[in-house]
Structure 1
């Protein structure tokens, strides 16, 4: 068997754990939510469509009676929506043990968020950067994940898990293009932009973990990727283009090459719960070309570990989102 052999039956009891999962109504987010709830967690489902979130709850309830599910509206393309969602979570819960930054878009035609940013970067990175900053105090107040480097009460630090992609390797650190505008639109390549947003996910996840460690915070940050998983993510681009041929080709590729969404969610859940992780790891499938297989700790590219690029992205992200973290610079 490729990878660790780890699967959802290896997840520990999550009773008492409160988690937020973005994009929880479909694909990787849905499957991660199902697994976490099946092991007793309370999951706040951040969904752009509350109706689709409610449908997902009904489907999960058919599969498991464990845990608790709470659907809340969250549009990561709207920084006001991100702030409102965080306020709702803060008021509804005493603390947060897990944040899964999962929601994303891929290879869309050029578009800008309501705040004026290139859409893929705005949703995949900036929305999650702002959300994590808004929820940082809630994560610090959480009791943490069971038996993850546990202290005397059997709970380790709270966790932030940010979902990236193997296509981060296509990304560059030319983040000024993310600010949108005519020049960004003229030079736009949808796959390069997607790679840039996924590289940003990794730079953020690693820098966040370094700053949390420097602060001595009881929160750790991780990154993961699902490999090639059969979800609706791949269909958004062809649908936006109105191309039936591209949509059918993508469905065929998914059917032949991809692993299931449930298998694709395992790296996320491993990063969220596995007791052998200490912080800053990148988890992905351990099989052929990192596209499928059981989860294991893997490597991202050299640029994703560039501390100067990470510091530059952090400074830009705070300025663009207006969300300043109460954390020192990383040592």
Structure 2
């Protein structure tokens, strides 16, 4: 049976092109996203390009802003498969006005970090069963502007759209590095640089203006997927590494190892975030990990 990859947010943009290329290489792909129409259309596009004995390509419903949905997805996967070779935590939202998830978490932290933390933990037995599984977490170069505000993690007292986004992307970095420390999984980070993606689909005028300016030097979503693909498939990656474009300002270019900000290498903050994430989501990695 072909290896299986689960890719969140793969109905479009960087996630779609990541899924497409992995399917071309013979990996079975599960597109995990909220929108049935877009997800099934993406899966059909990938299947249309495949010939011969194609691996499975399918859309499964997953809403990272709803822990019940995350648990339902994980249970469905465990019922269908006993191992998972690759998990790509790709989905994300950006610079939203303050809102909360179904479970009451600030939406950017809830979707970008906590939903993926819960999903990874619930799929951990299948990942460990694969023997040499990888988890790729997609962050942003803006993690370098992030700060974990543990005293106001949900932005209840003071909220900034961009600040909350940067915090969530820093949380991705801290989580991925701590996952690699606590488990035998290869836990790698990627960031796409500046690419044409779907992050602005539900945007507001200021955010759309900022993205429009950035897009003047942006690369395609297909090019933006290259760091994720490198992190997922290259033989020389190591847990805790970050890959992004090698061009000026890491905005575009070929995949290369990138620098992680000092706050992303703060092991005390990573451990604190891990504990808080287990408490908030109710997903405890338990005996599967080294404390």
Q: TM-score, normalised by structure 2?
A: 0.94
Aligned mate of 2:24, from 35, 38, 42: 38
Query: Closer, same or farther in 2 for the Cα pair 1:251/1:126, shift >3 Å?
Result: closer
**CA separation in 2, counterparts of 1:122 and 1:111?**
10
Q: Does 1:97 align with 2:85?
A: yes
Query: 1:123-162 CA deviation, whole Å, 9 max, x = no partner?
Result: 000000000000000001115xxxxxxxxxxxxx110000
**CA separation in 2, counterparts of 1:160 and 1:251?**
28
Deviant stretches of 4+, over 6 Å: none
Correspondence for 2:58:
70
Contact residue 40 and residue 68 of structure 1 kept, 8 A: no
Correspondence for 1:199:
170
**CA separation in 2, counterparts of 1:162 and 1:206?**
10
Query: 1:173-203 CA deviation, whole Å, 9 max, x = no partner?
Result: 113433x4xxx34411000000000000000
Deviation at 1:251, TM superposition (A): 6.4
Q: Does 1:253 align with 2:213?
A: yes
**CA separation in 1, counterparts of 2:207 and 2:97?**
14
Structure 1 residue matching 2:199: 3-state secondary structure? helix
Greater Rg by CA: 1
Aligned mate of 1:87, from 63, 75, 88: 75
Structure 1 residue matching 2:200: 3-state secondary structure? helix
Residues paired across the two proteins, number: 288
Question: Which segments of 5 or more consecutive residues in structure 2 lack a partner in the other structure?
Answer: none
Say what the alpha-carbon RMSD is for the aligned residues. 1.7
More contact order relative to length (CA 8 Å, sep ≥ 6): 1
Q: Does 1:231 align with 2:197?
A: yes
Correspondence for 2:43:
57
Structure 2 residue matching 1:319: 3-state secondary structure? helix
Q: How does 1:75-224 map to 2 (within 5 A)?
A: 75-143=63-131, 157-178=132-153, 180=154, 184-212=155-183, 217=184, 219-224=185-190
Deviation at 1:234, TM superposition (A): 3.2
